[in-house]
Structure 1
Amino acid sequence: MERRKVIIDCDPGIDDSLAIMLALKSEEIEVIGITIVCGNAPVEMGFGNAKKVLRQMGRLDVPIFVGEKRPVRREYVNALDTHGEDGLGESYLSEVDGYEQQMDAVDFMASVLKAEKVSVIALGPMTNLAVLIDRAMDAFLNIEELVSMGGTFKSHGNCSPVAEYNYWCDPDAAALVYDTMYENGKKIHMIGLDVTRKIVLTPTILEYICRLNPETGDFIRKITKFYFDFHWQWEHIIGCVINDPLTVAYFIDRNICQGFDSYVQIETQGISLGQSVVDSMNFYRKEANAKVMTEVDVLRFFRLFLSRILDVKPEELDILQDII
């Protein structure tokens, strides 16, 4: 099997951590680096959280690069109200010392992408990618495939009535990335709230995880408890939506999500700040710059996700169809 090289650009974050776990356990992917951007947590906190996840996975060999500390233009607003004051569900796991890199995230991306085509799985705001466009456009255009957890089509927003957090946090960056994709005849894969909202880690699934792999289950329980409480308080969901692992799962298995090609523009001002405006009716008569996901096979996702992170065979997970 040929492994696809990827850079994971993220803002850990609870669901980012679960996504990293899935990527590191998947033979189809070779994670050559993790780049951190301000988003769910400030970059230094995100750097620390990424190290905690790599320690849990026994993969501190994967380099982590600290990226942009603030959005391109607007004031930075973190999401610690959602992810806890330590950015990792107030699990307060012990810190991992060291592992600082000599170059920043954008320089790392530029150096890698100038040398070869590598895909980017973007799980946070697109600030690092926007700076890459300004600093090294040739490197950005050499991204083999760009898959983004962000935006929404018909589903409501999660930080405003119309906006998803990653694009709302830095709308100018997201707008630049989408516009650049359009101008160069490329498409971004948009894994938005329309599909990620259907991926809910319930108490029953969490208990199942703990039964199958107590060590991994204990780690996931620690980092998601705060997330469970937040989702109940704000959305009356018994469980928590885990957005980012779906993005990694889609990168591995394209049959997990389905959607359509469309031109997408990101709003950068006013009450619709951060909204992903999807021209599904082709009013603008512009070539598509995105593949917008609208349908997801929830069972297929959980079979892949759990079999990988728990080290069990998919056929051993037959009970899933009864508990999802």
Structure 2
Amino acid sequence: MRKIIIDCDPGIDDALAIMLAANSPELDILAITTVSGNVPSDMGAANARKVLKQLGRMDIPIYIGEEVPLREEYIDARDTHGMDGLGESFFPEVEGEYEKKNAVDFLTELLEREKISIIALGPMTNLAKVFSRKPELIANVEEMVSMGGSFKSHGNCSPVAEYNYWCDPDAAAVVYDLFAKAGSKIHMIGLDVTREIVLTPNRLEYMCRLDPEMGEFIRKITGFYMDFHWEQEGIIGCVINDPLAVAYFIDRSMCDGFDSFTVVATDGVCRGQTVVDSMNFWKKEPNSRILTETDSERFFAFFMERVLRKNDGSRWKKDEFKLLHEL
């Protein structure tokens, strides 16, 4: 098992990513850390707890992280994710105490003790604070997968920027710069690949037929998301970005791409844009792996096999999803 931290801002697609990670035996989830992004960090923690209760995984600790970006005014994405961050499903709050330690302190102390991997699904504010204080800790990051940015795809909150990096561009810029100086790479799961992962009404209905309980939970949190995507992008369904980062972390063949040196713009109309030097103009060592290709049908088979259950509690197998290629 690989020891991981999920740093996230739940968020509908973060919730789906947690569902996938928590049902993947390859992963030892040491903790979930939250950061303000789609929703404020404390609301994200509450949402993570709701998902963990649904999964029966209340053993995973949750640490609340940074409330505001490094420099920019904080602008959430509740227009996309609903006022509760889970599609206005308004599930009841789950009682219990959160970990008392701040996420930044927890991550710092953990990385001082051992090597771990990080799946970053939100703005990089927590991570920027950790690595700015102690850049030597990057050596203890076995792998960093970040859902954020874009290469050739248009943005989702500006013409050029993806929300996670746009929300706190300074944090993303700091982390990419520090990883470059450390000779390490960030695996960037950007909009070029995540836009291929569309949960359509037919795919959702199929999930509900295969596993009514989990399918209905997914239906409740994604309905608002589907309405948003229709109104904003004319998509029938919703793009679920974050679970692809988890799937790729587990199975590298889920996406393909290339290595490149990348910087993140922090100001002006290009705020949050990932500037990918794919032509090697700057002659710098790559600090990123830019993913550009994926297979949506394969992803959904992977997701469904792990998250959904039969009536007897056993897992479905990929070869049993006979209708998936038609949806």
When normalised by structure 2's length, the TM-score is: 0.97
1:165-176 equivalent positions in 2, closer than 5 A: 165-176=163-174
* d(CA) in 2 for partners of 1:293, 1:99: 38
Partner in structure 2 of residue 313 of structure 1:
317
Deviation at 1:137, TM superposition (A): 2.5
Residue identity (%): 62
Q: What amino acid maps onto 1:86 in structure 2?
A: D
Q: What amino acid maps onto 2:75 in structure 1?
A: V
Partner in structure 2 of residue 32 of structure 1:
30
SS at match of 2:247: helix
Partner in structure 2 of residue 219 of structure 1:
217
Q: What amino acid maps onto 2:84 in structure 1?
A: D
SS at match of 1:209: helix
Checking the alignment, whether the CA contact within 8 Å between 1:129 and 1:140 is kept in structure 2 is: no
Moved more, 224-233 or 101-110: 101-110
* d(CA) in 1 for partners of 2:139, 2:74: 27
* Stretches of structure 2 lacking an aligned partner (at least 5 in a row): 309-314
Deviation track 1:13-32 (CA, whole Å, cap 9, x = no partner) reads: 00000000000000111111
Partner in structure 2 of residue 140 of structure 1:
138
Checking the alignment, whether the CA contact within 8 Å between 2:138 and 2:182 is kept in structure 1 is: no
* d(CA) in 2 for partners of 1:114, 1:260: 31
* d(CA) in 2 for partners of 1:305, 1:60: 21
Deviation track 1:134-185 (CA, whole Å, cap 9, x = no partner) reads: 2332333311100000000000000000000000000000000000111111
When normalised by structure 1's length, the TM-score is: 0.98
Structure 1's consecutive aligned runs of 4 or more residues displaced over 6 angstroms after TM superposition are none
Aligned residues between the structures: 321
* Stretches of structure 1 lacking an aligned partner (at least 5 in a row): none
1:272-311 equivalent positions in 2, closer than 5 A: 272-310=270-308, 311=315
Whether 2:256 is the aligned partner of 1:258: answer yes
* d(CA) in 2 for partners of 1:136, 1:65: 20
Q: CA RMSD in A?
A: 0.8
Checking the alignment, whether the CA contact within 8 Å between 1:54 and 1:60 is kept in structure 2 is: yes
Checking the alignment, whether the CA contact within 8 Å between 2:132 and 2:174 is kept in structure 1 is: no
1:142-181 equivalent positions in 2, closer than 5 A: 142-181=140-179
Q: Pick from 203, 207, 210 the counterpart of residue 208 of structure 2.
A: 210
1:112-151 equivalent positions in 2, closer than 5 A: 112-151=110-149
Deviation track 1:65-95 (CA, whole Å, cap 9, x = no partner) reads: 0000000111100000000000110000000
SS at match of 1:158: coil
SS at match of 2:253: coil
Partner in structure 1 of residue 268 of structure 2:
270
Checking the alignment, whether the CA contact within 8 Å between 1:110 and 1:140 is kept in structure 2 is: no
Partner in structure 1 of residue 311 of structure 2:
none
Partner in structure 2 of residue 201 of structure 1:
199
SS at match of 1:141: helix
SS at match of 1:255: helix
* d(CA) in 2 for partners of 1:136, 1:104: 16
Deviation track 1:36-60 (CA, whole Å, cap 9, x = no partner) reads: 0000000111011000000000011
